[in-house]
Amino acid sequence: MLIVLLGILKSNKTYVLLDPQAPAARNQHILNDVRPVLILAETLLQAGESLCLHPDNINFAQIQVDNRILQTPAEGLAYICYTSGTTGKPKGVMVTRVGLSNLAQNHRDFIGLKLESRVLCIASLGFDAFGWDIFGAFVSGSAVYLAPDVLHSDVTALHQYLVKNEIGHVTLTPAILELLPHEDWHGLRSMIVMGDAPPADVIAWWSSRTRLCNGYGPTEATIATSLCEYRDGVAWNCIGKPLKNYRCYILDAQHNFLPIGFEGELCIAGVGLAHGYLNEPALSDEKFVMLPLPGNPYPERIYKTGDIAKWDEQGNIVFIGRKDNQVKIRGVRIEIGEIEAAIRRHPQVESVCVVASKQRVGKVLVAFVQPSSSTLQADILRYSLITQLHSAAIPSAFVFLSTLPLTVNGKVDRRQLENRPLEDADSRVAKAETETEALLERIVADAIGCAYVDVTQDFISLGAHSLTMSRIVALTSRDLHCRLNLADIFQHNTIRSLAEYIDEQATVAHTTVLLSEERRAPLNPQQNLLWYLSALNPDDCSYNLPVCVEICGPLDLELFEDSVNFVYEKHESLRTIFGESQGVAYQYAKPHVSLKLCDYCIGSQYQSLDALVKSLCATPFDITERPPVILRLVQFDEAHHVLI
């Protein structure tokens, strides 16, 4: 994918990224709007007059390769990125090459990317942050790690990936950062949050361990126009100062400059401004305007963001909110009108109003629907939206009303709906019957931001999305002391089903399954090699590996020995011995292995711990009689032991 993008840019062409996970209707609209000359895709798309190719069907060996250097116009288009639109259809933002180049250099310089840096690209293809992740790394020679799809929804897997690959620089949405375990890792140099500001406790924890920055920038200004590093005294909603080659203005309704502390519309100028919206000249003229600003001899082209902000005393921009009908949900800019238009398409909907309701987990979308039929259900509406909207744009809750409240002017009273409590209990809601169900009910309600949930309703119908699922996994694993993953949530997709599964797992965890001594298994190639070497030289101790664990504090020897034996009973590999039948080696697990920890005191026989370890390492194993593990407990005093 990255090579394809570079090839397109080098040939002075423009690329458009389609997210395979996005609704098919959205991708088809983009194709119809762009009318590309070439499509590279792994699945056949309705391409019209476009040529659609699968990468595997291209014979690269027959393509003439030469390193042609083409003259690249700075104002030429680099890519088109689609964002939410008021008409119910996404609109294409035409981003320039000079804007993309400026973005990459700003990313490199602000973060300090170097040749040895490791950058994670986790943004989805249809999200403009994808360009932020990769192009800054390109111009600095850094290594780019493309996140597997599973990392987009499994925060535990994401953390393991970050740790394993020693990722130094990562850009995340606040929703993901909030769920990330509070464990830093070797190599971490910087974290950037974009799309919204994280909670104060999340800021405090991560900013004390690494360089944590808050990034701001609309797609229309090439992703990032300002950055703020969280330090002591920095407000949570501070978005910093303009980056290189950007100018930011805070203007009133008459386009006058506003002084420090006064709120107004944030407007952006500079090389990063997009050309406008594809096939939308009227909208382009409305949002991208030439303004004769005070103190400027010539009119300047600016982009009116629709965001309300103010200057602080230090010259930083403080973000206040939106002035129009857009909201940020899970870091994605959502147009309320697009959601309402999609819901109105349903034949059983007479009227609808979607609001961003503030719940415990932050903003959640709530759709207030006036149905034309009493048979309309929330599940029906939700599933009809899955093929039309981004997952972040699907409301978490649907509330059916006989009529929508109106203002004195006859318009829908959005403010009343925004403040309407969602705590109205429904007598039809199935309640928890067991302790586990009650705990899960609380966890799920907290995760999706609603007061009441039905324990028999599937999580998706309750309004859960991928990040909500990850939150449920994390909270359940922590509060119920069990191990869960996303697959468990999808397989047991109601509170009642998941509670039964957790209770069953708890029972199994305390039950030892006895295995038959006659259940033999062949050796794998590595085991066969070691078996052969052991048979050639039974006294060879080359593969004996010592491990010493220091135990500080009083130790109950009897309880400790019972615990060790429980571990042996639980894991077959610790009870496995090896044998031979008719020249063929095999392995099997003994049903029981009873261990007695020899309690040594370092004395005259062994002058030091090293001497004891060397003695044990020189003791050959008889792997046909007992498992290849020896345990010894050395006591220095009542509060100091070493397990070998």
pLDDT tens digits, 602-638: 544 455 777 778 888 888 877 777 777 878 888 877 7
Q: What pLDDT band is residue 303 in, cutting at 50, 70 and 90?
A: very high
Q: What ranges do the domains of the chain cover?
A: 21-34+70-320, 326-418, 435-509, 521-643
Q: Inform me whether the pLDDT recorded for 506 exceeds 50.
A: yes
Res 519: pLDDT: 63
Q: β-strand 598-601 against 632-637: which pairing, if any?
A: parallel
Q: Show the tokens assigned to 636.
A: 């220095």
The pLDDT of residue 517: 47
The 3-class secondary structure across 95-148, one letter per residue, is EEHHHHHHHHHHHHHHHCCCCCCEEEECCCCCCCHHHHHHHHHHHHCCEEEECC
The dihedral over CA atoms of 330, 333, 337, 342, expressed in degrees to the nearest 10, equals -60
Q: How far apart are CA 168 and CA 281, in angstroms?
A: 42
Confidence of residue 514 (pLDDT cuts 50, 70, 90): very low
Give the pLDDT score at 258: 92
Could you tell me the CATH superfamily of domain 435-509?
ACP-like (1.10.1200.10)
In this predicted model, which residue has the larger pLDDT, 316 or 360? 316
Q: What is the mean pLDDT of residues 306-329?
A: 85
Same fold for the domain at 435-509 and the one at 521-643? Answer: no
Instruction: Please tell me the CATH superfamily of domain 21-34+70-320, with its number.
Output: ANL, N-terminal domain (3.40.50.12780)
The CATH architecture one would assign to domain 521-643 is 2-Layer Sandwich (3.30)
Whole-prediction pTM value?
A: 0.61
Instruction: Give me the pLDDT at residue 281, please.
Output: 95
Residue 364 near residue 396 (C-beta atoms within 8 A): yes
Instruction: Quote the pLDDT of residue 407.
Output: 66
Strand order across the 362-371 sheet: 349-359, 362-371, 397-400
pLDDT value, residue 189:
95
Higher pLDDT, 564 or 273: 273
Better pLDDT: 15 or 580: 15
Contact (Cβ atoms closer than 8 angstroms) between residue 336 and residue 343: no
pLDDT of residue 644: 82
Query: Which superfamily does CATH assign the domain made up of 326-418 to?
Result: ANL, C-terminal domain (3.30.300.30)
CA atoms 203, 208, 210, 214: torsion sign: positive
Residue 383, classed as helix, strand or coil, is: helix
Q: Which range, 170-179, 268-277, 458-467, 573-582, has the best average confidence (pLDDT)? A: 268-277
Tokens of 292: 């004769």
Q: Given a cut of 70, is residue 565 above it in pLDDT?
A: yes
φ, ψ of residue 365 to 5 degrees: the values are -85, 130
Q: What 8-state DSSP symbol labels residue 79?
A: E
How are strands ordered across the β-sheet holding 77-83? 15-16, 77-83, 91-96, 276-277
Q: What pLDDT is attached to residue 512?
A: 44
pLDDT of the residue at 128: 82
Instruction: Read off the pLDDT of residues 367-412 as tens digits, 9 standing for 90 and up.
Output: 999 888 888 888 788 888 887 887 778 887 888 888 888 765 556 7
Tokens (6 digits) for 93: 């933002």
pLDDT average, residue stretch 284-295: 88
Return the pLDDT at 304: 95
Residue 591 — φ and ψ, nearest 5°?
A: -60, -40
Q: Which residue has the higher pLDDT, 451 or 197?
A: 197
What was the pLDDT predicted at 452? Answer: 63
Residue 169 has pLDDT above 60, yes or no: yes
- Of 488 and 221, the structure prediction assigns the larger pLDDT to 221
**pLDDT at residue 424 in the model:** 47
**Which residue has 């009870």 as its token pair?**
575
Question: How far apart are alpha carbons 614 and 418 in whole angstroms?
Answer: 72
Tokens of 422: 């969602």
- Helix pair angle (336-344, 378-386), 10° resolution: 110
Indicate if the pLDDT at residue 451 is higher than 70: no
C-alpha of 408 from chain center: 44
Rounded Cα distance, 98 and 73, in Å: 8
Among 75-79, 370-374, 418-422, whose mean pLDDT is lowest?
A: 418-422
For the CA atoms of the chain, what is the radius of gyration?
31
Of residues 515 and 56, the one with the higher pLDDT is 56
Q: What is the pLDDT of residue 600?
A: 59
In this predicted structure, what is the pLDDT of residue 635? 80
User: According to the per-residue pLDDT averaged within each range, which of 99-103, 202-206, 375-379, 416-420 is highest?
Assistant: 99-103
Q: What is the pLDDT of residue 449?
A: 65
